[in-house]
Amino acid sequence: MTLAPAREEKKRAKAGLAPVEWGKHGILTEADIYTKSDEFHAWLVGERMMNPETTTKAKEKELFKQFMEDFNTGTLPHEKYYDLKKYETRMTAIKMGETVETSDSYDFNRDLESAKAAHRRSSSAIDDQLLDRKRLEDLRRVQSERVQREKMTRLGFEVSENLGVRLEDKMRG
């Protein structure tokens, strides 16, 4: 009977389908309907085009059995349906420009690149803090000039028009 699975594997390869890898992402049972509810609901909306809030409990259990079969055989159409939180953290990391690991093996070069990226992020954060510090100092200077201008006008001195005014050229430079 070992010939039948091999034949089916060849048929799947010829059809361009992914080989069946039982339990590659874990094995679901019917009791996992609550632990994998986020992934199941994402699958319902994304693949079945169904609203999970309008389905009946019986229909939901039937659809979960289909989801469970695809999950256990590793034939779900997208990686996010296996672990939604892991997928979302990975996508967030990509959006933030971090290096993302694609395999579980250790790669020294990837680790080095990740450390460099973290250093670049921290140095850009320091630059932002310096800009904020410069802006804060400029605002303090302008405020003290305004107080000084008010005192000088009360005493009857002629005051420059630019005293106590923040100019755009200084802020951009």
On whether both 86 and 112 belong to a single domain, the answer is no
Is the separation of the CB atoms in 64 and 33 below 8 Å? yes
Domain assignment present for residue 12? The answer is no
Domain of residue 72: give its range: 27-95
Is the separation of the CB atoms in 84 and 36 below 8 Å? no
CA distances from 18 to 21, 64, 106, 136 (A): 9, 21, 26, 58
On whether both 165 and 113 belong to a single domain, the answer is yes
Is the separation of the CB atoms in 42 and 67 below 8 Å? no
Domain assignment present for residue 63? The answer is yes
The torsion angle over the Cα atoms of residues 41, 46, 49 and 53, rounded to 10 degrees, is 20
Name which of 49, 81, 85, 55 is nearest 68 in CA terms.
81
On whether both 91 and 127 belong to a single domain, the answer is no
Domain assignment present for residue 128? The answer is yes
Q: What is the pLDDT of residues 50-86, one digit of tens each?
A: 999 999 999 999 999 999 999 998 888 888 999 999 9
**Structure tokens that stand for 17 in this block:** 């389908």
Count of domains forming the chain:
2
Domain boundary among 36, 64, 95: 95
Domain boundary among 95, 117, 144: 95
Domain assignment present for residue 76? The answer is yes
On whether both 86 and 120 belong to a single domain, the answer is no
Domain assignment present for residue 8? The answer is no
User: How confident is the prediction along the chain (173 residues), in pLDDT tens digits per residue?
Assistant: 445 666 766 766 666 655 667 778 888 899 999 999 999 999 999 999 999 999 999 999 999 999 999 999 888 888 899 999 999 988 988 888 776 666 666 777 877 888 888 777 777 666 667 767 888 888 888 899 889 889 988 988 888 877 777 766 555 54
